[in-house]
Structure 1
Amino acid sequence: MPVTFPNSKPYRNVGGNDALGILVYERDDDPPFAESSFIRRLNQFGSARGMPLFAFAPWTWEERNGSVKGWSWNDREGRWEPGRRMLPSVVYDRAWPETDAEKLRYRQAVRRLRESVKLVFLNGRLPNKGKVYECLAKNRTFSAYIPPTALFRGSASLSDWLSKHSHAAFLKPIAGSQGRRVVAIVVAEDGTVKLSGRRQDNQPFEVEVANEATALRRIERWIGSRPYIMQPFLELKGDHGEPFDLRALMQKGGDGRWSLTGIAARCGSPGMVTANLHGGGKASSARTMLSRLFGDIRGRELFEEATNMSYMIAVRLENVFGRFAEIGLDYGIDRSGKLWFLEANSKPGRAAMVSAGAEAARAAAEQPLSYARSILLRLATTDTRRSPQGRGCSLATTDMQRSLQGNGYATPGRVIHEFDHL
């Protein structure tokens, strides 16, 4: 049974539309949007619990009558059916625009909606990776888990980074997701350089070049004007050289309290640099994976360490960036058994939760509906996404913090605070 952490304030009673809207990016496909199987499952759960929901693209909103083109799943016919529906007051963002043009279209449509009507977003939105790292690094407990991080500022900055970090680096887009456009650079003793990573379409690549200067030129051309961050190339691999990480899914249910839905291990193929499921990785039991790699005792310790950190990180991110319904947290573990925080995702996938157990898989889909129902029943009169006043990142010391502070990982990672302008 998921454990809970009592930190969220209840909502006040007000009225509102009793349907939940699922924001999607509609295309001329069949089915007409991504994650259709997950949204279909949400639809079925909602119907069984008397909570209607439908999917819609934000640009289908008509201001004159306040309606949108909604997609509902017809279980009897086994198909998605469109129809005009009134714009709901609570929306759950599961849209996945892919190209720059699609992202622009989606942002503009959502902005138009938010400027015209009062909407409650079920989940908040995290800023770029650099700002998340920066916020966490302000606290000593968290900073011990943050890899050294700096902004990529061209070939010279990467060359300097390589000289300080064992001639290897990992670069990723500051606002990327699903492992797209990441690249690792490793300089061998003979001066040759291996570049490996994933393209925009998430296909893997591996290139070997003659020297560092050539590699730096290629990386700079490939990155272009996109903002990237640099980190050490951590050895986050299993016993057969396959990359692996942990995905923890933190969610709120109807009581508005944080709950750990589950932790799963994600494993990529040997030679790959990421373990993302979108990039061909496979999910497995975190407990089994950790026990096999580090032994039963250390495996249990790492699982509990990731559990404790997940609660504290979720609370901290919410205190700073506003309310959330769910957050996905990714961790890596190096060969020495050191746990590293990799990134947080405010639009997490949940396919890996099947490997965390049947209860976790069920809760991953049901928790957002329970939380949405509580909001619809007790909707606040203020925007639930409003961030707290101030920019501080303070967090009172708790028993969990004290236990973690004594775990031997006292050397904080250094984060360069240069992300505010991005």
Structure 2
Amino acid sequence: MPVTSQVSSLPVPIGSDVALGVLVCERLRQPPFAEAGFIKRLCRIGRSQGIRLFAFAPWTWSQEDDTVRGWSWDDRNECWSSGPRKLPTVVYDRSWPESEAERNRFRLALRAIRDARRLLFLNGSLPHKGGVYEALMQDREIAALLPPTALYRGADSLAAWLRKHCGSAFLKPVAGSQGKRVVAVSSRQDGSVLLDGRNSRNRPISRRFDNEEGALRRLDGWIGRRAYLMQPLLDLRTPSGSPCDIRALLQKNRFGRWTITGIAARLGAPASVTANLHGGGTSASASDTLIRHFGASRGNELLREVRRCSIIIVDKLEQTFGRFAEIGLDYGIERNGKLWFLEANTKPGRAAMDSAGQEASILAAEQPLTYAKSILLRPPGRVIHEFDHL
């Protein structure tokens, strides 16, 4: 039986439009946007549930007739079809801007819509990773799961961190996702320093420097003006040397109650510093993975701990940042069995849930729509919270 939390109150009246729009970044290629396979699946599920669903980029909005260019999957002709669609009231953000220019275009276009129209976001948004860390640190039980974290303030701050943390560090951008532009710093006994990470295209990078000064100077130039966090370089690898983390997907059901849809393990390549699937990782059963590496007793205990802590964390995030429909939570486990909470993601992928069981795989795609349907079909007398983000 899935673990659930208390029912969320859904305190902006919704009109009669029962369409759900999926926000994307439309591009001149086929498929016309990222996650086309997932959105195709949403179109099919929506059709079976009586929901008109289409994907659209906010910059296609016409203020003159209040329409956008909507994309839907055509099962009969097995292709994507597009045409003008009335701007929906409720939107599900699955946009993945590929550059800063595209990110700015998306934000400006969405802001133009919101200046003229009221939009309800199915899922809320979180601040940068530093803001999430600070909020979760306020809860004593969650704080025990958080790795020490500090803001990167130049090469001198990293040098001081290395002296304090046995010559190693893990750096990640505060606004990053999918494991892009992370870097692990490791000092060697001969004075050399290794930098291993992933670039903006999520490709592995590795470089050895003869001394710390040269390594930190090069790294500082690579980071530039981007905001980064520093954390300990935790030993989150399996005995075979593959990086491993645990992804828990939490979603609200049609009653507005949090449920744990599924929990899966993600395994990266031995040479990688992350286990993200976007970086070439693979998924596996969390239960099998934990039992194999920690034994039945500790493995099952860790799984129960992940489930219990996940409900506490999403409740805390909602109390602090507003309402959500789904959140992905990532955990790391050191070889000694110590559990760490790594980060939260409000645009969680679905691929890992295929390894969490057939029910989890189905629910991962269905639950955003059953929850959206409960909002779209809510009687006019009921009101719901408008998520302000971007």
Q: Which residue of 2 aligns with 1:284?
A: 284
- Matches of 1:382 and 1:287, distance apart in 2: 37
Q: Classify the secondary structure of the residue corresponding to 1:327.
A: strand
Q: Which residue of 2 aligns with 1:369?
A: 369
Unmatched segments (≥5 aa) in structure 2? none
Q: Which residue of 1 aligns with 2:157?
A: 157
- Matches of 1:227 and 1:53, distance apart in 2: 36
- Matches of 1:162 and 1:12, distance apart in 2: 50
Matched-pair contact (CA < 8 Å) for 1:16–1:89: no
- Matches of 1:308 and 1:290, distance apart in 2: 16
Q: Classify the secondary structure of the residue corresponding to 2:159.
A: helix
Q: Which residue of 1 aligns with 2:49?
A: 49
Q: Which residue of 2 aligns with 1:419?
A: none
Instruction: Using structure 2 for the length normalisation, give the TM-score.
Output: 0.97
Identity across matched positions, percent: 56
Q: Which residue of 2 aligns with 1:170?
A: 170
Matched-pair contact (CA < 8 Å) for 1:242–1:270: yes
- Residues 240-281 of structure 1: per-residue CA shift (max 9 Å, x gap): 011000000000011100000001000001121100000000
Matched-pair contact (CA < 8 Å) for 2:323–2:385: no
Indicate yes or no: 2:94 matched with 1:97: no
Q: Classify the secondary structure of the residue corresponding to 1:292.
A: helix
Structure 1 residues 78-97: aligned runs within 5 Å:
78-97=78-97
Letter aligned with residue 198 of structure 2? R
Q: Which residue of 1 aligns with 2:197?
A: 197
Q: Which residue of 2 aligns with 1:37?
A: 37
- Matches of 1:229 and 1:146, distance apart in 2: 13
Q: Which residue of 2 aligns with 1:385?
A: 387
Matched-pair contact (CA < 8 Å) for 2:25–2:97: yes
- Matches of 2:208 and 2:12, distance apart in 1: 60
Q: Classify the secondary structure of the residue corresponding to 2:387.
A: coil
Q: Classify the secondary structure of the residue corresponding to 2:7.
A: coil
- Matches of 1:188 and 1:97, distance apart in 2: 38
Q: Which residue of 1 aligns with 2:4?
A: 4
Q: How big is the shift at 1:112?
A: 1.1
Q: How big is the shift at 1:383?
A: 3.9
Q: How big is the shift at 1:164?
A: 0.3
Instruction: Using structure 1 for the length normalisation, give the TM-score.
Output: 0.90
How many residues align? The count is 387
Structure 1 residues 137-156: aligned runs within 5 Å:
137-156=137-156
Letter aligned with residue 321 of structure 1? F
Structure 1 residues 1-400: aligned runs within 5 Å:
1-10=1-10, 14-378=14-378, 381=383, 383-385=385-387
- Residues 56-101 of structure 1: per-residue CA shift (max 9 Å, x gap): 0001111111111100110010000001010000000001111110
- Matches of 1:183 and 1:236, distance apart in 2: 15
- Matches of 1:7 and 1:223, distance apart in 2: 42
Q: How big is the shift at 1:12?
A: 8.2
- Matches of 2:122 and 2:220, distance apart in 1: 38
Letter aligned with residue 320 of structure 1? T
Matched-pair contact (CA < 8 Å) for 2:12–2:385: no
